[in-house]
Amino acid sequence: MLNKADSNAVWFIVLALVFFAIGGLLTTVAPPLIDKSWAAPFSNSDPSKGLTGQLRPLTELEQRGRAIYVREGCWYCHTQQTRTLLADTKRSGWRGVDSPVSTPDEFVYDSPHLFGTKRTGPDLSRVGGKYDTQWHRTHFRNPRDLVPGSIMPPYPWIANNESEFQAIVAYLQTLGRAKNWRPENDYEK
């Protein structure tokens, strides 16, 4: 049968589609059907470990911020997924503590998701609580004032529009917060 696909285009296309479907079903459709925890919002309230993480839906303000994030194309340059790589968990870490890897249960309310594909800027999946509001205002006004040589464009129309600014910062501060993984819940506001 595989020999035939070498010389016959119709066989080739049919077999390619069959293998493609098997791959898709096994790796993307079957796992969430079998393991229901993938679709359940993240929850970890084990106080003995100091963990009180809980995923919640975004508030109205945070949702407006998310819409601005989409409108401005922040996701062209920023991903929102901490991969299993050391480089990721260190980069997203906090004062010497590595950040946890992203898991599906953190994205249950994130639709359509903003995982992104291109890391022109750093990953933002754990940026919530990393900087305070004043930092974000200065950064939106002109990133190079804080990070010399930054190639992130300035967004003065966000920094100078109080309602949009409050919304997008509220959204950014939610990113990666569900797991509450930082020691002593050490977050900037």
Note the residues at the interface with ligand HEC (CB under 6 A).
69, 72-74, 76-78, 120-122, 124, 127, 130, 143, 147, 150-153, 155, 168, 172
Least distance in Å: CB of 141 to ligand HEC?
12
Least distance in Å: CB of 74 to ligand HEC?
3
Least distance in Å: CB of 95 to ligand HEC?
14
Closest to ligand HEC by CB, 11 or 187: 187
Which residue, chain included where needed, has tokens 């997924």?
A: 81
Closest to ligand HEC by CB, 124 or 167: 124
* Alpha-carbon dihedral sign for residues 120, 122, 128, 132: negative
Least distance in Å: CB of 18 to ligand HEC?
40
Closest to ligand HEC by CB, 53 or 93: 93
Closest to ligand HEC by CB, 104 or 121: 121
Distance CA 174, CA 56 (A): 10
Least distance in Å: CB of 77 to ligand HEC?
3
Distance CA 94, CA 89 (A): 9
Amino acid identity, residue 6?
A: D
Least distance in Å: CB of 119 to ligand HEC?
9
| Residue with nearest beta carbon to ligand HEC | 121
Q: Are 101 and 83 in contact (CB under 8 A)?
A: yes
* Both structure tokens of 108: 């249950």
Closest to ligand HEC by CB, 103 or 133: 133
Closest to ligand HEC by CB, 47 or 149: 149
Distances (CA, A) of 133 to 36, 165, 169: 37, 9, 7
Neighbours of 185 (CB within 10 A): 11
- 100 contact partners, CB below 8 Å, separation of at least 6: 82, 89, 179, 181
Distance CA 19, CA 102 (A): 29
